[in-house]
Amino acid sequence: MSALRELSTMRRESGRGRPGPRRRGRSAAQKGDNRAAAFFLAPWFIGLFVITAGPLVASLYLSFTDYNLLQDPNWIGGENYVRMFADERLLNSLGVTFTYVLISVPLQLAAALLLAIVLDRGLRGLAVYRSVFYLPSLLGGSVAIAILWRQVFGTNGLVNAFLALFGIEGQGWVSHPDYALGTLMILNVWTFGAPMVIFLAGLRQIPETYYEAAAIDGASRSRRFRSITLPLLTPIIFFNLVLQLIGAFQSFTQAFVVSGGTGGPADSTMFYTLYLYQRGFGAFDMGYASAMAWLLLVIIAGMTAVNFLASKYWVFYGD
């Protein structure tokens, strides 16, 4: 009996170092899963390094060079960045862009929130209304809509035809320095569909019991909106604000088409991205354009950081 026990003990000890068939099978399956994951992630990593990271690093290098697309880059250090402080058109384009962003984005979010509240009241055919109102967000950045916008606000456009019904003589809104930028702001406000859908989803997440309890306490609709809806929607407002600010700083197509690529009249629609395009592909000053692109990146990152830092004072997460 003792010999049998010793033999079984030796077999157990000798078998500890060798993986059993189940363990070997599990290891093989895990390796297969890892290979499959690497295969499906490979296109993303290729796109990251070839399409995103590669050009990003190349543009950073070109921002320190004098490069005209036809000759080899010539290293000039930080001269391109120093030139920006003396470039009046660049400073003007920054002013135009900041005016466009700081006015049109809040108006766009306000319009989106207002319509989301209206649609949240249980209208029939809600899916149809939601699709119709979302459509401008899909088309607003297209060349066709920009051409249409130029016609609508032109001298013989629909806006002047409507004003003529009341005896008001209109003008060429897109060709007047005082009003051209305003027409682009209206176009940006008109593309409220994407934030509206997000607001509508956020409104659907607010428990109805909060409103019922407030109504029992005698709170008016405006008080319920201020004390319940707005605080609980602040994370959604913050999310939409960050996205729309980034998108507004990158606006290009509308100004390019409406002004014919000139940023006129009198540089009133000279967005920063449009001036960057003119320097890079119009004047073939690609080194300076690359430096401008990095300045835009810093501005967007700075605005985003400010929003995140300020969010702790007004965004309510309910925890």
Most confident residue range from 90-99, 142-151, 256-265: 90-99
∠ CA 170-187-121, rounded to 5°: 115
| Of 48, 57, 49, 51, residue with least CA distance to 297 | 57
4 pLDDT above the threshold of 50:
no
∠ CA 297-298-300, rounded to 5°: 65
Q: Is residue 162 part of a domain?
A: yes
Can you give the pTM of this predicted structure?
0.84
Q: Is residue 120 part of a domain?
A: yes
Three state DSSP letters for the chain:
CHHHHHHHHHHHHHHHCCCCHHHHHHHHHHHHHHHHHHHHHHHHHHHHHHHHHHHHHHHHHHCCEECCCCCCCEECCCHHHHHHCCCHHHHHHHHHHHHHHHHHHHHHHHHHHHHHHHHCCCCCCHHHHHHHHHHHHHHCCCHHHHHHHHHHCCCCCHHHHHHHCCCCCCCCHHHCCCCHHHHHHHHHHHCCHHHHHHHHHHHHCCCHHHHHHHHHCCCCHHHHHHHHHHHHHHHHHHHHHHHHHHHHHCCCHHHHHHCCCCCCCCCCCCCHHHHHHHHHHHCCCHHHHHHHHHHHHHHHHHHHHHHHHHHHHHCCCCC
Q: Is residue 69 part of a domain?
A: no
Q: Is residue 276 part of a domain?
A: no
**pLDDT number for residue 2:** 52
Whole-number percent of the chain with pLDDT over 70 = 89
The bridge status of strand 65-66 relative to strand 74-75 is antiparallel
Q: Is residue 82 part of a domain?
A: no
Parent domain of 169: 114-270
Work out the average pLDDT over 49-55.
87
23 pLDDT above the threshold of 90:
no
For 95, 266, 296, 306, 313, the CA distances from 302, given in Å and listed in that order, are: 16, 29, 10, 6, 18
Q: Is residue 308 part of a domain?
A: no
CATH code: domain of residue 146: 1.10.3720.10
Q: Is residue 193 part of a domain?
A: yes
The predicted-structure confidence for 199-251, as pLDDT tens digits, reads as follows 998 998 888 898 889 988 888 888 999 899 999 999 999 999 999 999 999 99
Confidence of residue 5 (pLDDT cuts 50, 70, 90): low
Domain count, the chain: 1
Q: Is residue 160 part of a domain?
A: yes
**pLDDT number for residue 119:** 84
128 pLDDT above the threshold of 80:
no
| Type of residue at 175 | S
Work out the average pLDDT over 21-45.
75
